[in-house]
């Protein structure tokens, strides 16, 4: 008996919901339409108005966090490229220097001096500063060249720096 009551009650509920739907309504009954699409668009616009500024803030913060290390990485790569390029130029420009061969102390000093002078003449000042100035750049070129076993900073690098400074004193206006 209870089972019949539940089945009949469920059937009655289904029929009453169909009768209340706009497709089953009689023309005499007023139909109320709810504009739920407009409400959904308004809610989506409100959510977008909140989320877009948050996303832009997050992207800006991420860019700011990456900018410092990225700048250092790019500057380091540019300094290494500068050292390689001026070293190659100097090896080609100095008599007695041959690419791939070990350079003697006198030739190595001239190559280092020529490389540093080339960098001072051609590279942007900020890049030379990033390389450590004249001294830092000369040291980097010194380390990048295949020099003789007898080459040290005292007998090769110091002579090269003296030559660069002497040349700078001659070219600067008094």
The residue segments making up the domain with residue 150 are 59-171
- Residue 130 falls inside a structural domain: yes
The H or E element spanning position 92 is helix 36-93
Q: What is the pLDDT of residue 30?
A: 77
- Residue 122 falls inside a structural domain: yes
Q: What is the pLDDT of residue 4?
A: 46
CA distances from 3 to 6, 21, 51 (A): 5, 28, 52
> How many residues are given for the chain?
174
- Residue 27 falls inside a structural domain: no
Is residue 111 exposed (0-12), middle (13-18) or buried (19+ Cβ within 10 Å)?
buried
- Residue 2 falls inside a structural domain: no
Q: Give, for all 174 residues of the chain, the pLDDT tens digit.
A: 444 444 545 545 555 555 445 555 556 677 777 678 888 898 999 999 999 999 999 999 999 999 989 999 999 999 999 999 999 999 999 988 888 899 999 999 999 999 999 999 999 999 999 999 999 999 999 999 999 888 888 899 999 999 999 887 655 443
- Residue 152 falls inside a structural domain: yes
- Residue 12 falls inside a structural domain: no
Domains of the chain: total? 1
Count of C-beta atoms within a 10 Å radius of residue 122: 13
- Residue 47 falls inside a structural domain: no
């Amino acid at each position: 008996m209870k089972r019949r009551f539940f089945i009949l009650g469920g059937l009655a509920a289904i029929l009453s919901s169909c009768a209340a739907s706009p497709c089953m309504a009689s023309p005499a009954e007023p139909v109320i339409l709810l504009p739920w699409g407009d409400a959904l668009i308004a809610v989506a616009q409100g959510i977008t108005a909140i989320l877009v500024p948050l996303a832009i803030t997050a992207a800006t913060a991420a860019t700011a966090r990456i900018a410092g290390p990225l700048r250092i990485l790019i500057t380091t790569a540019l300094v290494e490229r500068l050292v390689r390029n001026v070293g190659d130029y100097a090896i080609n420009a100095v008599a007695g220097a041959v690419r791939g061969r070990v350079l003697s102390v006198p030739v190595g000093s001239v190559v280092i001096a020529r490389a540093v002078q080339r960098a001072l003449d051609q590279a942007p000042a900020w890049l030379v500063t990033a390389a450590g100035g004249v001294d830092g750049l000369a040291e980097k070129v010194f380390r990048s060249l295949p020099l003789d076993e007898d080459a040290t900073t005292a007998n090769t690098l110091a002579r090269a720096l003296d030559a660069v400074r002497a040349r700078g004193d001659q070219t600067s206006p008094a």
